[in-house]
Amino acid sequence: MNEPFGRVIAAMVTPFAADGSVNYQVAEKLAAHLVDNGNDGLVICGTTGESPTLSWQEEYELFQVVQKAVGNKAKIIAGTGSNSTSEAISATQKAAKLGLDGSLQVVPYYNKPPQSGLYAHFSAIAKACSDLPIMLYNVPSRTSRNLEAETVAKLAEIDNIIAIKEASGDLEQVCQIRSLTPSSFAIYSGEDVLTLPMLTVGGVGVVSVASHLVGKQMQEMITAYNQGNNQIAQAMQIKLLPLFKALFATTNPITVKKALNLQGWNVGGLRSPLGELQLNLVEDLKKVLKELDLL
């Protein structure tokens, strides 16, 4: 299977200072740490990076800071999607000039376009940014619109649309995408808990939240599966399941930011309208982290 962005890609959080501004210094250190601990790539300014509350200028600065921190050691994927086609094109063109490795393009949210509109949206972005590899991002729980397998297959015919982050939670749809697209088109799980199940139906890796904490373990699980050591992969999946569940006990990235702060990373709080993790969930998180020797 083709792995254009590697196997484990962290959907990196955006650190904030006490005054709510982006903490670029911590972002630089965190990016380097993630790459040194199992991540082949980083998605910058995706949902986990709180992209809805970042300005385009903050995002552009983050791309440059992370690129400088990581260099050629990992793939850098810019979250430049939008529910406005023209805005997505503009942001993606600007990011492309930095020489990044790819762009994550989310399904337009709130607008609820039909499949023909989704095709027109993504194909326009791809055409306007033809030198930049594009990863589609399907997450119906957030966008209210599913990018159907047939539409994905049609988009996969465009040269620079080379992958999808599939977070519909629908394994049947993943099977359909795999059957309708060439092996060169990469399918990444958008949900940590479904990484291993998706590998069994043609996935190549994961765009991960948990890899902030267990990047090396995620790599080991995928490697074990690819080498035919299914029992080892299954055991790792079961071992990590409590962490996967804890990280999504409430809206992402509330919990993973708390986990990183507990580890001493000082990634700060969250921008409104997101808020702090409830105290009972903090205690549940601490328990899981301690059981996995992550605290």
Which of the residues 75, 154, 165, 258 is marked catalytic? 165
- 109 classed as catalytic: no
- 188 classed as catalytic: no
Which of the residues 60, 137, 188, 225 is marked catalytic? 137
Residue with tokens 């992958």: 163
Q: Is 92 exposed, middle or buried (0-12, 13-18, 19+ CB in 10 A)?
A: buried
- Residues designated catalytic: 137, 165
